Structure 1
Amino acid sequence: MYRLDTKENQLVELTETTFADSDIKERQHIEEWIRKNPEILGEDLLIIGHEYDKFEVNERLDLLALDRDGNVVIIEVKRDTSGSNVDFQALKYASYCARLSQQDILDIYTEYIDSHHESVDAKESLLKFLEADDEEELNSMLNVTQRIIIVGKEFDKRILSVCTWLYENNIDIKCISIKPYKLNDDLIVDSKQIIPPYKLENYYVRKKAEKQKRTIQGDREVIEFLQAVEESIIAQTNYSGRYGGKRNYFAGHKFLGIPWFFVFGYKKDGSATISLESSVEEGTKVIKYIGEKYRDQLQQSLGVPFELAEGVKNKDWLRLIAKLQLDTSLPLEERVQQYINVFSKYYEFIQKLKASNTLY
């Protein structure tokens, strides 16, 4: 990693260090970073448990989360090196979590909210995060399957080998490296997904979706389009999102230190949307400002209409929506590229506003 010396117009290499040398603790520091900013793991997650130890066995799970599809995500954190048994440990926790009922998840999340003195209702928070219409839909989404994310500075080769094999055999597992670098008296923390590499992940997302197509309640054309969009976003931008193959939209991760994210949607008739969304006041305030002040400029720059709209299910939700109408007679690749071109300009526009300190 490098720092740009603007005066000399040259790159200065930062010194890689260890968390131990910087007196950074696993539970006290790293787990707290992830708990407060789960987007460091490259996707939008809702943390529902921290240091959970209510299993029948006397073991403690570092962090427990839900993804946007309602799957339970086990997050196992190691400070510097992963060790040689973290994979087995994570698999054990996944097997324990597979038995969690919808009520168990609600109880775990309620306990987490109480322990961290957060003023939210657990059920309402889950409904909002998963965009479920009611409790019945919520229950149908929760804990359909389990995923694993292992976090550490360095990974033992044996761990990488096992995790690669697990992923190739349809166990959804990720290894994410977080490395500290010294910058004067500060630490710079860089995160990078090691297993699976993004392109490999995209291949297996397609492979799994094809295997599961008989059970997916969706349209094949929509699924293929959004899978291609996910892959293209990762390949062509520094943004990312995760498409689960079940809905006609998917969400990306939070960015620029603001609680907002992009949502990518598509329908069979070729109508498509790219929306910047938030349900948190800090995020909705900025979205409203951009929509009111820059909507005309966005429409002119991107060549598509924009709409500032409240959420259908939740009035606290605010969206700044770019609306596209794609020609369904065109090949998939052309439609996807048209969509990505609009997103890239939208994303770049927001980044420039942030860089120029004109978001408020």
Structure 2
Amino acid sequence: MALYEMDQNSIRKLRETTFVSYGLKERGDIQRLLKERIEVIAPGTMVLAEEFGEWEASRRRIDLLGLDKDANLVVVELKRTEDGGHMELQALRYAAMVSTMTFDKVVEIYERHLGIDGADVEARTAILDFLEWDEVDEDSFAQDVRIVLASAEFSRELTTTVMWLNEHNLDITCVRLKPYDYDGRLILDVQPIIPLPEAEEYQVRVRDKVQKERKARESGRDLTRYDVFVDDDKYPNLAKRRAILAVFRGVYSKGANPEDVAKLIDWKPNLVRSAEGTLGSGEMYDAITEQLESEGKTSTAKRYFLADDELMHANGRTYALTKMWGRSTVEAMQVIVDKYSDLNVCFREAEI
């Protein structure tokens, strides 16, 4: 394959180049840039650590350690060489070494990573938010380790090995990062080569569905997703706590008072927090933080939906809905829908 520049008069092939010729280093440049834009090679992944190597009797380090939306650990290995070297064997060692990590250990690792980057984020809350979990579920956490290999090119030996390993239930993705020169600028062509999206998409979906169903059976955790409907608008494939937000905001958008809706869920304390005025996200965060501190509570305002398009305004006040629901979410949605049956808000299990 090649990249071309096309205008009204011609089609011109771009010249292939190398990272080395542009003075790009594997760790100092490529790794640093991909850490900030991990979705380029691993969509739906949260970076937990860079150059991770916290194990005894080994100097080996994982380029990037991540977590995906299914709570699987993700080992990312990068190579700027032209054939990928033996990165698949190296990544397998790393995957085995991190496979026994607990949630608390991952929180500890992420806290150190945030400290290095100077980010003002609470690690535990950030991970729970990313996973869309209300509480820690060790039985569903890190049940598998995915591997992502990124290189300018991959040898036939490497790709053959990876395909054989995937046939035996490993989950390895190879992403080709092909650099091109365009009038002195570096153009990067990013292509997943294993699995091929055109050929493997259906099998990947089926495999993921089977794995999720197995985890749900083993842990007893409900992973059902929901479609929410407000008049003719559909909010599809939502995790439970996103679904309750859509239902709550749905009846609110049709005129229901947030305080009245909250009273319906009488078994759930602190369902909503409110503050005087029409507040934005940052102001509401500060207001809830002040409330929690005055109540002597150690929980954080980040346990509430605080984005501007998630807040609700009524009666001269601003309202934020909790993210912490547990197993009562569907019951709460049904109570709200039944009470406001005339507002044309409903939900159902999402289609696979």
TM-score for both structures, normalised by structure 2 = 0.62
Equivalent residue, structure 2, for 1:34: 34
Gaps of 5+ in 2: 239-280, 282-301, 311-343
Question: Once the two structures are superposed, what CA deviation does each residue of 1:221-278 show, in whole Å capped at 9, x if it has no partner?
Answer: xxxxxxxxxxxxxxxxxxxxxxxxx8344xxxxxxxxxxxxxxx548xxx952499xx
Question: Once the two structures are superposed, what CA deviation does each residue of 1:178-197 show, in whole Å capped at 9, x if it has no partner?
Answer: 11111223211111101111
Equivalent residue, structure 1, for 2:169: 170
Equivalent residue, structure 1, for 2:223: 247
Q: Would the alpha carbon gap of residues 204 and 107 (structure 1) be closer, same or farther in structure 2, given more than 3 Å must change?
A: same
Instruction: Report the structure number with the largest CA radius of gyration.
Output: 2
Q: Would the alpha carbon gap of residues 165 and 327 (structure 1) be closer, same or farther in structure 2, given more than 3 Å must change?
A: same
- Which letter does structure 2 place at the counterpart of 1:107? E
Conservation of the 8 A alpha-carbon contact between 1:84 and 1:158: no
Conservation of the 8 A alpha-carbon contact between 1:149 and 1:174: yes
Question: Once the two structures are superposed, what CA deviation does each residue of 1:125-146 show, in whole Å capped at 9, x if it has no partner?
Answer: 1111111113x34x44431211
Equivalent residue, structure 2, for 1:115: 116
Conservation of the 8 A alpha-carbon contact between 1:50 and 1:112: yes
Higher relative contact order (CA 8 A, sep 6+): 2
Aligned length: 249
Q: Percent identity?
A: 26
Question: Once the two structures are superposed, what CA deviation does each residue of 1:55-89 show, in whole Å capped at 9, x if it has no partner?
Answer: 11111110000001111000000013344421110
Cα distance in structure 2, aligned partners of 1:45 and 1:212: 17
Equivalent residue, structure 2, for 1:2: 4
Cα distance in structure 2, aligned partners of 1:186 and 1:275: 40
Conservation of the 8 A alpha-carbon contact between 2:227 and 2:234: yes
Equivalent residue, structure 2, for 1:316: 306
Equivalent residue, structure 2, for 1:185: 184
- Which letter does structure 2 place at the counterpart of 1:163? V
Equivalent residue, structure 1, for 2:160: 161
Cα distance in structure 2, aligned partners of 1:196 and 1:148: 12
- Which letter does structure 2 place at the counterpart of 1:121? E
Task: Look up the SS of the partner of 2:66 in the other structure.
Answer: strand
Equivalent residue, structure 1, for 2:247: none
- Which letter does structure 2 place at the counterpart of 1:20? V
The CA RMSD over aligned residues, in Å, is: 3.5
* Pair 1:78-2:79 in alignment: yes
Equivalent residue, structure 2, for 1:301: none
Cα distance in structure 2, aligned partners of 1:273 and 1:100: 35
Equivalent residue, structure 1, for 2:324: none
Cα distance in structure 2, aligned partners of 1:185 and 1:195: 30
Gaps of 5+ in 1: 219-245, 250-264, 277-309, 337-360
Cα deviation for residue 317 of structure 1 reads 4.0
- Which letter does structure 1 place at the counterpart of 2:151? G
Conservation of the 8 A alpha-carbon contact between 2:227 and 2:236: no
Task: Look up the SS of the partner of 1:209 in the other structure.
Answer: helix
TM-score for both structures, normalised by structure 1 = 0.61
Equivalent residue, structure 1, for 2:322: none
Conservation of the 8 A alpha-carbon contact between 1:272 and 1:324: no
Cα deviation for residue 32 of structure 1 reads 1.0
- Which letter does structure 2 place at the counterpart of 1:25? K
Conservation of the 8 A alpha-carbon contact between 1:170 and 1:208: no
Question: Once the two structures are superposed, what CA deviation does each residue of 1:156-187 show, in whole Å capped at 9, x if it has no partner?
Answer: 11110010011111101100001111122321
Cα deviation for residue 202 of structure 1 reads 2.7
